[in-house]
Amino acid sequence: MHSNNGFDGGLPPPRTGTVAAVVRNLLVVGIVATVAVLVSGFLRGDPAITSLVPGFAPPTHGPATAAPGHASGQAAPKAARAPDTPPPGYEEADHPLGTPAKPAVASDSYKFLATNDDGTPVGYSPCRPLHYVVNAAQAPAGSEGLISDAIAKIAAATGLSFIDDGTTEENPSEKRDPYQPDLYGDRWAPLLISWTTPEAAPALAGSVIGTGGSTMYSFTTGPKSYVTGSLDLDAPQITELLGIPGGSHYVSAVIQHELGHVVGLDHVQDPVQLMYPEIGAPDGLAAGDLNGLYKLASAPCRKDL
């Protein structure tokens, strides 16, 4: 099943400096297995950054993913290994691996990409590390450290433990297989972060500067959880953006925004939040973003996945 949901809106003038906004799209892909439902997460097109500098084309960033919800006190059904899935429980601990930082200010300016039937947000299991790999073949000069820094911020806010598995030659794909034993072993494939181009990742066409999303899994009517994801960054556009004074701060904001989608956050209509569809100033995660990320830490452990 495929469906599209776009954020429709113009690009407002920038709030500060030379950079203005980012616009997003939504793509959902469903795959039905014998004993489980595997749903490729929501691809959310994200902030476009428009520059007032002559000759700088307005970039935008792309899709995001949703995260699994928790079981609301009920253990997920124990299921046999489904076709095209790894053995369940790989690296799963009995308790969350990290403790998220509690937001200093309460705020309800957040929204989740997906929820379970009981209203709990879909997210990654906090009881296993989220591995990631980077296709850095086209990484722009000046981008060093931006991905790891953004991941550290999301990890602190969610309590999720991220593990850098290094570089990969895997290329972006609109229908990425979440289980690739020949490439990554008998486990769910790691989160794939790619510096790429619109030719290799068509979702980056036009002003889209990045895309991100996750794949969620559930047994029949049980709770859903994310198991892997993808994040694509338009290397040519980001190269231009990094050439502008302060551009690295906007690139960092885009990466954090996309990672927010990867772990389960949707857009909000509060322009103060980083998850607002436009990035007018690279101020980082705001109170609503932090509260939403904090609540995603309540996702259940999933030894059955």
Residue 220 banded pLDDT, cuts 50, 70, 90: confident
Residue 47 has pLDDT above 70, yes or no: no
User: Rounded to an integer, what distance in angstroms lies between the CA atom of residue 305 and that of residue 76?
Assistant: 9
Is 302 domain-assigned?
no
CB 163 within 8 A of CB 130: yes
Dig out the tokens for 156 from the structure. 């602190």
Domain holding 36, by residue range, is: 2-296
Q: What is the dihedral of CA 139, 145, 146, 152, to 10 degrees?
A: 140
Is 240 domain-assigned?
yes
Reduce the DSSP state of residue 45 to 3 states and report it: strand
Is 303 domain-assigned?
no
Per-residue model confidence (pLDDT) at position 29: 19
Reduce the DSSP state of residue 295 to 3 states and report it: helix
CB 227 within 8 A of CB 176: no
Is 92 domain-assigned?
yes
**How many Cα atoms occupy the beta-carbon half-sphere of 90 within 13 Å?**
16
Residue 38 banded pLDDT, cuts 50, 70, 90: very low
Per-residue model confidence (pLDDT) at position 46: 54
Lowest-pLDDT range of 71-75, 81-85, 176-180, 246-250: 71-75
Is 59 domain-assigned?
yes
Residue 216 has pLDDT above 50, yes or no: yes
Q: Name the residue among 231, 252, 232, 230 with its Cα closest to residue 241.
A: 252
Is 134 domain-assigned?
yes
Q: Into how many domains does the chain fold?
A: 1
User: Rounded to an integer, what distance in angstroms lies between the CA atom of residue 167 and that of residue 283?
Assistant: 29
Question: Where would I find the beta strands (DSSP E) of 49-148?
Answer: 60-61, 130-135
Per-residue model confidence (pLDDT) at position 44: 53
The pLDDT tens digits of the residues spanning 62-71 come to: 434 333 333 3
Give Cβ neighbours of residue 169 (< 8 Å, ≥ 6 apart): 135, 137
The pLDDT tens digits of the residues spanning 82-121 come to: 778 999 999 999 999 999 999 999 999 999 999 999 999 9
Is 301 domain-assigned?
no
- Pairing type for strands 191-196 and 225-234 reads parallel
Query: Mean pLDDT throughout 182-209?
Result: 94
CATH number of residue 169's parent domain: 3.40.390
Per-residue model confidence (pLDDT) at position 91: 96
Q: Which residue has the higher pLDDT, 265 or 207?
A: 265
CB 288 within 8 A of CB 109: yes
Is 164 domain-assigned?
yes
Query: Mean pLDDT throughout 269-290?
Result: 89
255-to-153, 192, 230, 233, 299 alpha-carbon distances in Å: 11, 13, 12, 8, 23
